[in-house]
Structure 1
Amino acid sequence: MNTNKKRNKLIVTAIMTALLVSPMAYSVSEGHAVAATSVSKYKVNTQPFSIEGKKSSIGTINKNGSTYIALRNLNTALGLTTNFNKAIQLVSVSGNGRSLEVNLVNNAINLNGQPVIGPQVILQDNTTYLPLRFLLERMGYVISYQNSTKEVSIQGIKENDLQVKAEEIGADGDGKSLLVYYPVIKGYGNEKVQHKINTFLKQETDKRIMAGSKEMDAVVKANNQLLAKNPKAAVRLPSFDGRFTVTYNENGKLSLYVDYYLYMGGAHGITARIPYTFDLTTGDLISLKDAAGNADYVSIINSQIQKQISSRNLDMYIPFKTIEADRDYYLSHDGIVVYFTEYEYTSYSEGMPQFVIPYSKFK
């Protein structure tokens, strides 16, 4: 499988994950959500909803600009299946080829076999509340808010008939730690294409792991030398972790990215984001030029990035001029996403600024 050479440089960072707003909930018995927020009682307000076009009013909680809602009120309309395992304090939500689990003891969240960072749950009146946007956007829905009607709209996304599950590669020992989750396509009708993509992604994962392990070996060697001189010396073990995010699974295309985080014992680790967008007809990677479908795609993207930099008041320590013709990107439901790597143009506090270029801009 051919692929353009990318600027896969590693950038100094610590993983900063923004918590999405707009939540939800599941009825549970009293006293089982140790990790849940247990502050003064929140007011429950009646919120108008449009769920798959069906109008309804549902009681919600607002916390710091986030909307929380009881999951039980959405089960029938959305076709999601929910369950609470009292013995192990686990809430599970499944549907649309996905499975999400929330451990109410430690607030650990797992999506399709892979840990994800998420917000803290809220326990009130024997109900555990979770962010609506955080959950439903990961379950294949689009959520929007109409200012004129104050209505929350929830609509399912028509996706390709396949699932993306997580497989794990982990190893601890020899003075270092490794834990990588990589994507595996399952259930796709074209088995040849499925095998082609899965083989490619596994090869990519193995290549990244090999490179990360090699980087860690230098730190392990230095640590061993220090411990040989002083067995009581405090050393920091290096680690290498990988997590993936599926961003688009529509119209015969699949787009995702993998964040590889390499910690070498310093104040911060090093993160490399590697995106992939596949044509599900052939199993080939799609270039940015082909994804845009417009010969002037570079200038269109440059213009949109400049406008968004200005509107968002991004503090740039290096002026942005242009993207490369083969710039890394991924797809989302709303458009083509181009991003700056950490420290490429902005400070650490900005993370990885992302710029969504609506598909309509390329028409």
Structure 2
Amino acid sequence: MNTWKKWTSALLAAGVIMGGSTAWVDQSVQAASVTSKVTAPAEVTLKSGGKTLAQKGLLQGGSTWVSLTAVKDVAGGTLKYDAKTKSYTVTAANNAMTVSLMDGQPNVYINGYYPQVEAKLIQGRLYIPFSAMRDYLGVQGSWDAKTKTLTLNKVKQNNVKVKSTKVNMTVKNAEVDVQYPQVSGLASKEAEAAINKVLKDEVDKAAAAFKKQTSEFGGATAKRPYAFETSYVVTYNENGVLGLITQHYEDYAGAHGMTYRAGHTFALDTGKELTLDDVLQNSKSMRETISKKVGEQLKASGGYLDGYKGLNKDQDFYVTPTGVVVFFQLYEYTAYAEGFPEMTFSYKEILPKGAAPFGNVTSEK
């Protein structure tokens, strides 16, 4: 791993790059904090497809942990080991989750993107929290506390493929790693082309800006190079809608680099990129309610810098299997150490009673 990538990973562990909040939480099988008290794990029975799996899960620190082999079996994906990087990669549901042991402890990233996910090495096996299976690998589950049983099932997802596309880009005295998502397999080739154009134009614009800045700044050396990295993660792929987070990181040999993030939500039948108002089914009152709650949470933060007057016209957000996450850029309203402030709202609390997510914006089910 490049030096600057290690730096990014270290900041992530400190809760800086990705922010200090959890994007969304399953109330029955919660994601463990990196500060959870270490206790002896208890065995958890895993079931899938009406059968009991040979692998056991573990209950520790308030989370149910599942081994990578069980993750692969239930998700229906692949599991590969890279001896050179000491990493395991599970590929499923249009995401490639890699758990690396290069630095002596498990580090998790997806398609080059660093999520706020912890992995554990327990008794020689690698485990991830169940919540990571649900959020990124297309697996849902139900928890029976009485019998300590977790029943796992694959989520019915859209028939779309999301492929990582590499860009061959060379900048003198700069470490560059550029990849971005492109979709295929849609019924409408016009919609497919529209989505791909948005995603390609975004990375092209960021790359062009980096090249311009490196030319203007100068000063990069082989010992202290500049850096540019782009990555993405699929956050939602159901009900005819595709949700992604894309981000890029740039470093000009200053005190620290900067990361910029974008949320994308596409209707797959038309290729339209949805706004927050679309997701809220154009409810003005709900937008006002969310705006107020977001302000309260921002101002309660110790790193609040002032200036919030309400949600932006083109508010940054992304969607997940359980709700909507409103977020802000680094320094937008909070100190750098706060990372990306995120506020989560479940579909149940933001949509009219009985309304299905995205029922008003797509004909696909």
Specify the alignment match of 1:204 in structure 2: 202
- Which one of the candidate residues 187, 191, 201 is aligned to 1:189? 187
The alpha-carbon distance between structure 1 residues 309 and 162, as it changes in their structure 2 partners (threshold 3 A), is same
Q: Is the 8 A contact 1:213 1:240 kept in 2?
A: no
Q: Is the 8 A contact 2:120 2:126 kept in 1?
A: yes
* Aligned equivalents of 1:19, 1:131: Cα separation in 2: 16
- Which one of the candidate residues 305, 311, 320 is aligned to 2:294? 305
Residue range with higher mean Cα deviation, 140-149 or 272-281: 140-149
Deviation at 1:287, TM superposition (A): 2.3
Please give the per-residue CA displacement for 1:313-337, whole angstroms capped at 9, x wherever unaligned: 5222326431123222222222222
Specify the alignment match of 1:353 in structure 2: 341
Please give the per-residue CA displacement for 1:289-309, whole angstroms capped at 9, x wherever unaligned: 222113414302213324555
* Aligned equivalents of 1:288, 1:70: Cα separation in 2: 36
* Aligned equivalents of 2:167, 2:137: Cα separation in 1: 25
Please state if 1:93 is matched with 2:90. Answer: yes
Deviation at 1:152, TM superposition (A): 4.4
AA aligned opposite 1:15: I
| 1:242-281 alignment, distance < 5 Å | 242-281=230-269
Specify the alignment match of 1:333 in structure 2: 321
The alpha-carbon distance between structure 1 residues 187 and 18, as it changes in their structure 2 partners (threshold 3 A), is farther
* Aligned equivalents of 1:146, 1:80: Cα separation in 2: 23
Specify the alignment match of 1:343 in structure 2: 331
Please give the per-residue CA displacement for 1:185-205, whole angstroms capped at 9, x wherever unaligned: 122232332122213321221
Deviation at 1:358, TM superposition (A): 2.5
Q: Is the 8 A contact 1:342 1:352 kept in 2?
A: yes
Please give the per-residue CA displacement for 1:231-269, whole angstroms capped at 9, x wherever unaligned: xxx963222211112222222222222111111111111
SS in structure 2 at match of 1:302? helix
* Aligned equivalents of 2:17, 2:72: Cα separation in 1: 33
* Aligned equivalents of 1:347, 1:53: Cα separation in 2: 49
* Aligned equivalents of 1:169, 1:86: Cα separation in 2: 23
Please give the per-residue CA displacement for 1:91-138, whole angstroms capped at 9, x wherever unaligned: 453444555454555667675x646566455152x5343443334532
* Aligned equivalents of 2:80, 2:207: Cα separation in 1: 36
Deviation at 1:151, TM superposition (A): 5.6
Specify the alignment match of 1:122 in structure 2: 121
* Aligned equivalents of 1:87, 1:256: Cα separation in 2: 30
* Aligned equivalents of 2:171, 2:298: Cα separation in 1: 44
Specify the alignment match of 1:160 in structure 2: 158
Q: Is the 8 A contact 1:164 1:184 kept in 2?
A: yes
The alpha-carbon distance between structure 1 residues 143 and 240, as it changes in their structure 2 partners (threshold 3 A), is farther
Q: Is the 8 A contact 2:17 2:340 kept in 1?
A: no
Q: Is the 8 A contact 1:45 1:59 kept in 2?
A: no
Q: Is the 8 A contact 1:133 1:143 kept in 2?
A: no
* Greater Rg over alpha carbons, structure: 1
Please state if 1:237 is matched with 2:225. Answer: yes
- Which one of the candidate residues 33, 43, 50 is aligned to 1:46? 43
* Aligned equivalents of 1:170, 1:212: Cα separation in 2: 14
Specify the alignment match of 1:15 in structure 2: 17
Q: Is the 8 A contact 1:288 1:325 kept in 2?
A: no
| 1:45-124 alignment, distance < 5 Å | 45-47=42-44, 51=48, 59-62=56-59, 64-73=61-70, 78=74, 80-83=76-79, 91-102=88-99, 111=110, 114=112, 116=114, 119-122=118-121, 124=123
Specify the alignment match of 1:293 in structure 2: 281
Please give the per-residue CA displacement for 1:41-99, whole angstroms capped at 9, x wherever unaligned: 984522255657878897444555554333445665x2524545597666453444555
Specify the alignment match of 2:363 in structure 1: none
- Which one of the candidate residues 136, 140, 143 is aligned to 1:138? 136
Specify the alignment match of 2:6 in structure 1: none
Residue range with higher mean Cα deviation, 180-189 or 190-199: 190-199
Q: Name structure 1 gaps, 5 residues minimum.
A: 1-12, 24-40, 228-233
Q: Is the 8 A contact 1:46 1:57 kept in 2?
A: no
* Aligned equivalents of 1:269, 1:131: Cα separation in 2: 29
- What TM-score, normalized by structure 2, do the two folds share? 0.71
* Aligned equivalents of 2:197, 2:257: Cα separation in 1: 29
The alpha-carbon distance between structure 1 residues 63 and 266, as it changes in their structure 2 partners (threshold 3 A), is farther
* Aligned equivalents of 1:210, 1:52: Cα separation in 2: 49
* Aligned equivalents of 1:183, 1:44: Cα separation in 2: 38
AA aligned opposite 1:140: G
* Aligned equivalents of 2:50, 2:63: Cα separation in 1: 23
Q: Is the 8 A contact 2:329 2:340 kept in 1?
A: yes
Specify the alignment match of 1:283 in structure 2: 271
The alpha-carbon distance between structure 1 residues 348 and 151, as it changes in their structure 2 partners (threshold 3 A), is farther
Deviation at 1:184, TM superposition (A): 0.8
* Aligned equivalents of 1:123, 1:147: Cα separation in 2: 22
